[in-house]
Structure 1
Amino acid sequence: MALFDVAADAYVRFMGRFSAPLSAPFADIGLAGVDATARVLDVGCGPGMLTRELVARQGEGNVSAVDPVEAFVGATAASYPGADVRRASAEDLPYDDDTFGAALAQLVVHFMDDPAAGLGEMTRVTAPGGRVAACVWDHAGGTGALSAFWRVVHRCDPAAPGEEALPGSWEGDLTRMLTGAGLREVEETLLTVSRDFATFEEWWEPFTLGVGPAGAYVRGLNQIERAGLADALREELGDGPVTIRASAWTATGLV
């Protein structure tokens, strides 16, 4: 998770602007049929965008959250002191079997060291009849939150890395993984959110904070290369306002 070993505010400014609006429709799916008094788990909580939504629905005392990044754990724990927030990896969850009515992983499966193990752990700690859910941006289909960025990057630098091959980034892959974890009645859908930016700079500046693969790519450019990329992106998107529609594959199943 070194790609996300950044300050909590940097993550919020970069990805939080998309993950926050995604959290409500994702929670609708991840909590479908789950009792309002059930304990629920946010896996890979980051600075707490989904945690906020879960707390609003289930109450702080029923929400647990884990993340391997210490800064994110600290930020989430400070925001929700009544929740159980711990530093842990998805592949080794510090909970007993059958603890939760639901376990949700928002925009994290594709960055797990071992997605199969992580989903297996989510299934283990969820009680029979409970729900496990995960979502990943549609990187492969070109409609994710960062697709416009990577499209221009690859036009300028065809050898640049991207995110389109990450697990769960294409239709059907999350279904395959959740089914492999032993979940039943697995269903998959595409959730789409929209975010408006008044200016190009408002959209672009968070890419310079070093968050995730996109931020790491920008940080690796020299000053001239970075300015050239910004110019190419501005030519593509305009000076503003800029509207980004971001879609994420979302799958859920029952234990």
Structure 2
Amino acid sequence: MVHEVWAKGDAYEAYVGRWSRPVAAEFLQWLAVPPGRRWLDVGCGTGALTGTVLSAAAPAEVTGVDPSERFLATARSRLAAHFITGDARALPVPDASVDVVVSGLALNFVPAPAEAVAEFTRVSAPGGLVAAYVWDYADGMAMMRHFWDAATSLDPPAAALDEGRRFSICSTATLSDLWFTAGLSDVATRPIDTTAVFADFDDYWTPFLGGTGPAPSYVASLPTEHRDTLRDLLRERLPRAADGSIPLLARALAVRGTAV
């Protein structure tokens, strides 16, 4: 049995945190929130979205919430925002107290996402914006798609760990339904595409050895020989540019709505 680890902030940054920042920037452009608003970042992790809000949205204040104290320690070391430990399904925030609730790359990991979106709505002031994005694990997050396709070709039971199979929430239709069910209005969705460019194969593979997240946790569970076989298969399969770099699509799916 593979136990997923979400504790090592630096390992997460190397794995997917670095690729989330371009997505966060385009996400905020899409939201087009005026300056001077109160923001809440739910599932803030190491602070990729929080940092983008601070640098690009001129907020009055920003609060980040995450269940991982070690992720929050990384965020606090880098960002001048308020961070608190908490569960997306029971936010430690008063009713109608924030103008913008956002969540980046986290909602699919919440056991009951509908409860989380209900909480987003509860803490939003009337007319406030509630928005989120998740990776398109099934088709558009190529670094993970290549990994799981290779892993399951060697070990078919690994398919049960594949985010593309596990997270049905990661579709624009499902996200839209969640937002409408929570009573939000003016609901809209869109894909956000960026390119994750790995300098070489080691730049791609090494983060999978960090032990943080589903795929790295799976790698950590493998015997050395099996891990090396998986590494070599990925080395053969991954596309390369003329300079040896590995450019891969990184697509997120975004949703937004207005609190009534």
- Give the alignment's TM-score, normalised by structure 1: 0.92
Shift of 1:216: 1.1
1:197-238: per-residue Cα shift (whole Å, max 9, x none)? 121011110001111111111111110000000011011015
| 1:168–1:249 Cα contact (<8 Å) kept | no
Shift of 1:75: 1.8
Counting only pairs closer than 5 Å after superposition, residues 1-255 of structure 1 correspond to structure 2 as 3-29=4-30, 31-32=31-32, 34-59=33-58, 62-81=61-80, 83-160=81-158, 161-164=161-164, 165-237=166-238, 240-255=244-259
| 1:109–1:167 Cα contact (<8 Å) kept | no
| 1:39–1:58 Cα contact (<8 Å) kept | no
Shift of 1:167: 3.9
Shift of 1:143: 4.1
Give SS of 2:163's match: coil
Shift of 1:113: 2.2
Change (3 A) 1:36 1:144: farther
Query: Aligned equivalents of 1:155 and 1:184: distance in 2?
Result: 43
Shift of 1:4: 4.2
**Count of aligned pairs between the two proteins:** 251
Shift of 1:152: 1.6
Shift of 1:5: 3.0
Give SS of 2:37's match: coil
**Runs of 5+ consecutive residues of structure 1 not aligned to the other structure:** none
Change (3 A) 1:25 1:201: same
**Runs of 5+ consecutive residues of structure 2 not aligned to the other structure:** none
Residue range with higher mean Cα deviation, 164-173 or 212-221: 164-173
Query: Aligned equivalents of 1:78 and 1:99: distance in 2?
Result: 26
- What code does the residue aligned with 1:137 have? W
1:164-220: per-residue Cα shift (whole Å, max 9, x none)? 231422241111111111111111111111021121011110001111111111111
Residue range with higher mean Cα deviation, 96-105 or 224-233: 96-105
Query: Aligned equivalents of 1:228 and 1:119: distance in 2?
Result: 41
Query: Aligned equivalents of 2:258 and 2:142: distance in 1?
Result: 26
Shift of 1:58: 3.8
Change (3 A) 1:52 1:10: same
Query: Aligned equivalents of 1:58 and 1:163: distance in 2?
Result: 31
- Give the alignment's TM-score, normalised by structure 2: 0.91
